[in-house]
Amino acid sequence: MLTNSKQTDNKKKELLAKIISLITGNFVWVLVILVTIIASIITPVFFSIANLHNLLVTSTVLGLLVLGESIVLLTGNFDNSLEATLMFSAMVAAWLTVDHTYASGLLLNSIWGVLALLVVGALIGAINGFSVGYIGMQPFITTFATTVIITGLSILMTGGAILTPFQKDFTILGRAMVGPLPLSGLVTIGLYVVVHIILKYTPIGRSFYVVGSNLEAAKALGINVKKTQMVAFIIAGVLAAIAGWILGGRLNSASSQMSTGQLFLAYGAAVIGGVKLGGGEGKAFGMFGGVVLISAISTLMNLAQVDPYVIRATTGVVILLAMLVDTIRSGEFLRARN
């Protein structure tokens, strides 16, 4: 009898441990559920088809920046140039294709604009990756310098003008619908699925985790650390360029001010979604949860007609919360107390 009782207690403890592990491992989705419950009470219109459609549309750009930043974070690095990459890649595409005083005047077909956009994103990522991986430059300052350079180039290239309108073909990704759903949202979700597969089932994906967790272990396993870091930056640059394609198409224009304030939200969403700032930890499902959470909070406050300055302050609180979560997760909180 005592043996059976102990076995029952052990099973209960194991079940409780699994439940706790499930909740802590997917804590961001617990927060998403709480926010949606609060939203349904404060403003029932939150769950209207129109608002859910708007939520999906507006979260795509942030979603791609989070995905790109998270991949770089997995390798233990930072990329502060993603928002500038978004802007510059869209401006290069516009410069080649639109009919404007400050454009090239070439009026190339949209497909060339898209190809140029993707190449620019990959090139900026390659420059960052080479500087960090092969030269050994500090990633935070290096990518900040890249931001300053390409922002200056964009203003020099166009005189600070807004380039508009894009050719209709270029705007499809940012504006088209597939039934009731925006194409941009479906593409973003699809890219999260692709990244999930890469991270979980491919050698390069597993290498991101190993490099971010322990450089010496990665070298001992024969992983090309420099190449792995460079690939991460290139993927991030391409994802930022796709975000530029979506946003440029949605706005039907490109300018040096087309995206501001998204980068630190991307950091916050990534960390709240389970990505460790020190590298080596994070899943695509959690990253997506971070995007949903921040987008839901922002949408809720807009629907509740909260003062824009309060929304900005709340954004800062979310970022601080993300840093606290990362500190607790990494064990630094306990070490600091001791």
In this structure, is residue 219 part of a structural domain?
A: yes
Q: Tell me whether residue 19 is in a domain.
A: no
DSSP assignment letter at 279: S
**Which is higher by pLDDT, 312 or 166?**
166
Supply the range of the domain harboring residue 179: 31-327
Total tally of structural domains belonging to the chain? 1
The amino acid sitting at 206 is R
Q: What is the mean pLDDT of residues 141-145?
A: 96
Q: Residue 15 above 80 pLDDT?
A: no
Per DSSP (E only), the strands in the chain are: 177-178, 181-182
pLDDT in tens, 206-239: 999 999 999 999 999 999 999 999 999 999 999 9
This prediction has a pTM of: 0.91
Residue 23, domain member (yes or no): no
Within a domain: 311: yes
CATH number, domain containing residue 296: 1.10.3470
> What's the confidence (pLDDT) of residue 169?
94
| CA pair distance 183, 175, nearest whole angstrom | 7
Say whether pLDDT at 154 is over 60: yes
Residue 82 inside a domain? The answer is yes
CA angle 253, 84, 280 (to 5 degrees): 130
Q: Residue 333: inside a domain, yes or no? A: no
Q: Which candidate, 285, 224, 231, places its Cα nearest to that of 66?
A: 285
Over residues 120-143, the mean pLDDT reads 97
Within-domain flag for 337: no
Find out whether 57 and 182 touch, Cβ atoms under 8 Å: yes
User: Does residue 62 carry a pLDDT above 90?
Assistant: yes
Is residue 244 one of the residues assigned to a domain? yes
